[in-house]
Amino acid sequence: MTHQPSGQTPDIGGANEVFRLAFEHAPIGIVVVAPDGPVRWANRAICEMLGRTSNDLVGEVWDAIVHPDDLDGERTDLRRVLASGGTSYTIERRCIR
């Protein structure tokens, strides 16, 4: 994977503007994490929840953000998704602010 410049959202086919707006204005926190762990994109809601900027989060390893008590569950979920060929999943996790 190539590194996306910080603060930018992914280009998804021809619908990149619709995706960007939905991603940025979603009322829930959304992060896109590369399979090897670094945050690729973080929306405004997750940034507000964590008290950090998108530039702070992009490149940070997701394991460093997830609460230590939730790491085993996070890693298990990620392995399960990757093993099944999935590309996304929805979770609720405690994070370190």
Is the separation of the CB atoms in 93 and 78 below 8 Å?
no
CB atoms within 10 A of CB 75: 14
Enumerate residue ranges in the chain where pLDDT < 70. 1-14
| Domain span holding position 33 | 16-83
Classify residue 89: in a domain, yes or no: no
Query: What gap in Å lies between CA 84 and CA 23, rounded to an integer?
Result: 25
Q: Does 1 fall in a domain?
A: no
Give the model's pLDDT for residue 30: 92
Q: Is residue 34 part of a domain?
A: yes
Specify if 79 maps to a domain.
yes
Q: What is the pLDDT of residue 42?
A: 94
If one counts the domains in the chain, the total is: 1
What pLDDT sits at residue 92? Answer: 86
Rounded Cα gap, residues 2 and 4, in angstroms? 6
